[in-house]
Amino acid sequence: MSKDCAGCRHLAGTIHGYYAAGGHVHTAGWWIDSIDAPPSATGVVTYYVTAQAAPMTIQESSSTSVEHIPGRPVRYLVSVLVRPGSGSFTVTSRTLA
């Protein structure tokens, strides 16, 4: 997670909302199978991340039913915009599969 990652902040906010409403998210997380980084001629470095998401259960609030989501392969596109000389960067990501 990165403070400059809008997708990361959105995910964290969503999960925080579940817990604040009496819900939960239970998972063993995910693990990375591979990371591919094609060459870049710009200030944006792109990574294709292939991973396995573990099964999870989600309950959005204490009054909703529990959802069971099976484990599955996932693929993410992660882009990092590096600001030369500033030591800072911006991370964006999106799910491809």
Under a CB-based contact definition with an 8 Å cutoff, are residues 61 and 79 in contact?
no
Of the pLDDT bands very low, low, confident and very high (cuts 50, 70, 90), residue 38 is: confident
Global confidence as pTM: 0.64
The domain ranges of the chain are 6-95
Q: How confident is the model at residue 60, as a pLDDT?
A: 97
Under a CB-based contact definition with an 8 Å cutoff, are residues 28 and 68 in contact?
no
Q: How confident is the model at residue 52, as a pLDDT?
A: 93
Q: Where are the beta strands (DSSP E) in 1-97?
A: 24-27, 30-36, 44-53, 56-59, 67-69, 72-83, 88-95
Higher pLDDT pick, 44 / 62: 62
pLDDT at 3 over 70: no
Query: Which whole-number Å values give the CA distances from 2 to 10, 50, 72, in the listed order?
Result: 11, 19, 24
pLDDT, one tens digit per residue, over 77-92 is: 888 877 777 666 777 7
Q: How many CB atoms lie within 10 A of CB 6?
A: 12
Q: Which residues pair with 51 in a beta bridge?
A: 32, 74
Under a CB-based contact definition with an 8 Å cutoff, are residues 30 and 51 in contact?
yes
